[in-house]
Structure 1
Amino acid sequence: MSIESLFDLTGKVAIVTGGGNGIGRRCCETLAAAGADIVIGDLKAEDAETVARGIRESGGRALSVPCNVLEDHDLVRLVDKAVETFGTVNILVNNAGGGGGGKENPFEIDVEYFEKIFKLNVFSVWRLCQLVVPHMAKSGYGSIVNITSMGSINKSPGMSAYASSKAALNHMAANLAYDFGPMNVRINNVGPGATRTHALSTVLTPDIEARMLAHTPLKRLGETADIAGAVLYFAAPVSQWVSGQVLFVNGGGVQTLD
């Protein structure tokens, strides 16, 4: 097998949730550059279409689908549109997620908030896996990549809902690897460290960045391309005997806001 073929996704169909911006957008562009047809699900329909249009203008094939991962009918429609347009689903990148990292004071949030974070970061992922795996099994190729977080293993204040949901995502993937393996479907997680996105820019100051880099052997913060490269590894044939794993992309260290 040639080096090129190890990363070749020609003829593969990839769904990326939260693909309109940040890490999700770079994942869409990277997978498309490797040859995949891309289905972009995002709450911000205009942003998703902008990404899809850019891929099409570069010679690829892409479709945008408005999608709120908290709504089951949106998840069903996302998968149905992918199959209707491109014939199957081979790759799923569960990137959509969220939480109030560093702001989840246990005496100020409530059970409803906690439940919403788990629905967003865990339940929607499980449901999309359930929807796509039969198509992957039928096609003969399947790779699911979930975006988790360093928060899943770090210990910090104000992170109880977000961090525990991402920890659940890690363990869920490790267990689903056993369920999906006999169908020739792999499932892995990518855990970003502090990555330069709009979300990080809203809290990042020179002082916070300096403190983050003090505990980062590779003395820079992450870029979206760093995370997309790890996603490509798990999506592509090069990782065909890898499943149930978590790859932390963090410059070798730990970056926290406290």
Structure 2
Amino acid sequence: MRFENKVALITGGTSGIGLAVAQSLAQEGSKVVIVGRNQKKGEAALQSLKQIHSDVMYLSVDVSKSNEVKQMVHKTVSTFGKLDFAFNNAGNTEGKTALTHEFSEEDFDNMMGATIKGVWLCMKYELRAMLENGGGSIVNTSSLDAFLCSPGTTAYATGKSGIITLTKCVAHEYGKQGIRVNTLTPGAIKTSMIDSKFEGLSAEEAKRLEDKYNNLNTLGRIGTPKEAAAVVTWLMSDEATYITGQNIIADGGVSFV
């Protein structure tokens, strides 16, 4: 029970890596607040967490909106008394891909709001709560796309790359005040984002796409949310108290990064 009596806030916590982190922390005693925009998914995730720990809560929040983020942190602290951990994992999983000259300004602004602005806003208010609590640990989610820089992903890759730099800057600012800040950069993980790429494909096409993912890394397979969550859980634990400002890549050993 490494996290008994601790309080964790997890954005993008209703599915995938976020939910896996929530489950991991709850299993080890932490009170958990999960955040997402889909009410149905949120309620389902909440019920699954209640089977592990009674002190859990779901909030519907758009992390690109300052007033909603401020209320998110306020609700967490007013309900559970403090904030020890934050996993800023919310991101745009349905964003458009297009070459730069074809990408609209509106889509670019939406992408920045869902990626780097959202993480910045979350940390802005999480840090205040952690300073009042005497310290804490934050983990932000980036993406391997920040390094791959594939055609058509310019806005997404830029936002995710910015999260790595933002994390390092904030880690330098608050280290002496007992707050550690790190980044998780996952490769291909078996989440709804990956699953959506297989929708509508024939069996042959799906097999080719699966082989493509499997051949990307040294381990020859797609990772699981539980494997990514183990990294986040470790970063939040007392076993990683000398780790801050780092970008931990969990990608199965992609050789060209």
- What is the TM-score normalised by the length of structure 2? 0.91
Distance in 1 separating the partners of 2:61 and 2:3: 24
Counterpart secondary structure, 2:49: helix
Counterpart in 2 of 1:247?
248
Preserved CA contact (<8 Å) 1:194 1:222? yes
Q: 1:176: how far off?
A: 0.9
Tell me which residue corresponds to 1:65: 59
Residue among 197, 201, 204 paired with 1:203: 197
Q: Aligned partners of 2:95, 2:14: CA distance in 1, in Å? A: 21
- CA apart distance, 1:66: 1.1
Give the aligned partner of residue 227 of structure 2: 226
Secondary structure in 1 matching 2:32? strand
Look up the equivalent residue of 1:177 and give its one-letter code. Answer: A
Aligned partner letter, 1:89: L
CA contact (8 A) 2:183 2:247 kept: yes
Cα distance per residue 1:56-103 (max 9 Å; x no partner): 222341011111112222111111110111001111111100156782
* In 1: Cα distance, 2:43 partner to 2:69 partner: 17
Aligned equivalents of 1:66 and 1:138: distance in 2?
Answer: 25
Aligned counterpart for 1:98 among listed residues 72, 76, 92: 92
Residue-by-residue CA offset, 1:132-168 (whole Å, 9 max, x unaligned) = 1122122233011011100111131111000011011
Distance of 1:71 and 1:134 partners within structure 2: 17
Give me the whole-angstrom Cα distance separating, in 1, the residues matched to 2:48 and 2:71.
23
Q: Which deviations, in whole Å up to 9, do the C-alpha atoms of 1:15-34 show, x marking residues without a partner?
A: 00111111111111111112
Any conservation in 2 of the 1:30–1:228 contact (CA below 8 Å)?
A: yes
- What does the per-residue CA deviation read over 1:161-214, in whole Å, with 9 as the maximum and x for residues that have no partner? 000110110011111111111211010010110111122112142212212222
The answer to which of 43-52 and 77-86 deviates more is: 43-52
Are residues 83 and 92 of structure 1, via their aligned partners in 2, closer, same or farther at CA, if it must alter by over 3 Å? Answer: same
Cα shift at 1:233: 1.0
For 2:249, give the aligned amino acid: F
Query: Which deviates more, 93-102 or 30-39?
Result: 93-102
1:10 aligned partner: 4
Cα distance change on mapping 1:111 and 1:236 into 2, 3 Å: same
Would you say the 8 A contact 1:9–1:34 is kept in 2?
A: yes
How many equivalent pairs are there? 250
Change (3 A) 1:147 1:24: same
Q: Does residue 136 of structure 2 align to residue 161 of structure 1?
A: no
- The 3-state SS of whatever aligns with 1:153 is helix
Aligned 8 A contact 2:23 2:52 in 1: no
Counterpart of 1:108 (choices 102, 109, 114) is 102
Residues 193 and 254 in structure 1, CA contact (< 8 A), matched pair in contact too: no
Quote the offset at 1:46 in angstroms: 2.7
Structure 1 residues 196 and 99, CA gap change in structure 2 (3 angstroms): closer
Structure 1: tracts of 5 or more residues without a match? none
Deviation readout 1:208-249 (Å, 9 max, x if unpaired): 221222231112101110111111011111111111101111
2:92·2:114 contact (CA, 8 Å) conserved in 1? Answer: yes
In 1, Cα distance between the equivalents of 2:234 and 2:161?
22
- Cα 1:222–1:78 change in 2 (3 A) is same
The 2-side partners of 1:35 and 1:87 are apart by 15
Q: What is the distance in 1 between the residues matched to 2:43 and 2:105?
A: 35
* RMSD of equivalent CA atoms: 1.9
CA contact (8 A) 2:85 2:138 kept: yes
Q: 1:146: which partner in 2?
A: 140
User: In the alignment, is the contact (CA less than 8 A) between 1:149 and 1:192 conserved in 2?
Assistant: yes
| Residue 178 (structure 1) aligned with residue 169 (structure 2) | no
Distance 2:67 2:81 in 1: 20
Q: Is 1:214 matched up with 2:208?
A: no
Partner of 1:56: 50
